[in-house]
Structures are given as structure tokens and as C-alpha cells.
Amino acid sequence: MPKITFIEHDGTERTVEADAGRSVMQAATDHLVPGILADCGGNCACATCHVYVDGSWRARLPPPSNEEREMIDCALHVQENSRLSCQIPVTAELDGLVIRLPESQT
Ligand code: FES
């Protein structure tokens, strides 16, 4: 199972085992990672699953859709590496993925 590390804004780290085929958002909510509310249930309609993708991992993810880009624009504290975690599918290749949470999601 791929492992994903979530780092909260205060530096708290949680590494979880994620099921391939689910989304990074679902991996977080499955393990009660705080800060990922996922109000819309993964439908790219709320931006409460906003995360930052660490370093070189960005290039290894499928690019965001136009719909995801538009919804990211609605989030707070947007950065170049902002993504919506509900739009990132978990795959075996993502083992070791590091995700950081924005200050607005504590
Ligand atoms: S869960 Fe709502 S946009 Fe991701």
C-alpha cells in the first residue's frame, strides 16, 4: 500500500497507508487527518481539500483539470503547488508522497 505523509501547518506529521484507486483526499479522511474537510465529497466543488504537493512530487502527478484550476482559485493561501486532494488518484507510484496543509486548513 502506498504511504502518504500529511504535514499540518503546525508541523504535525501523519503518515498513512492509502488504498490505490482512492483519492488522496479519501486517504486523509479515511485516517481522520485533520484539516481536510472535503465538504463536497470529492466533486471538485468546495476546495476544502486544498493541499500543497511537496517538491518533485508535483511533476509526477497528472496535471490539474480546468475545473480543478478554477476551484483552486476559490481557495485561500493558494501557491504554485496547490492542488485539490480529491482530484489526485492514489497509485502505487505515489508511495512516499508528501502533502502539506495550508494555514487556512487547521
Ligand atoms: S472535496 Fe470538495 S473540492 Fe475536493
Query: Which band of pLDDT confidence, cut at 50, 70 and 90, is reported for residue 24?
Result: very high
Query: pTM here?
Result: 0.95
Q: Provide residues with CB under 6 Å of ligand 1.
A: 25, 38-40, 42, 44-49, 71, 84, 86
pLDDT of residue 33: 95
The per-residue pLDDT for range 58-106, each reduced to its tens digit, is 999 999 999 999 999 999 999 999 999 999 999 999 999 999 999 988 7
First to last CA, the chain: 27
pLDDT of residue 55: 86
Query: Which residue of 39, 67, 104, 105 sits with most ligand 1 atoms within 8 Å of its CB, as the best mutation to test the pocket?
Result: 39
> What is the set of domains in the chain, with CATH numbers?
3-100 (3.10.20.30)
Concatenated DSSP letters of 31-99 = TT-TT---TTSSSSSS-TTEEEE-GGGGGGSPPPPHHHHHHHTTSSS--TTEEEGGGSB--GGGTTEEE
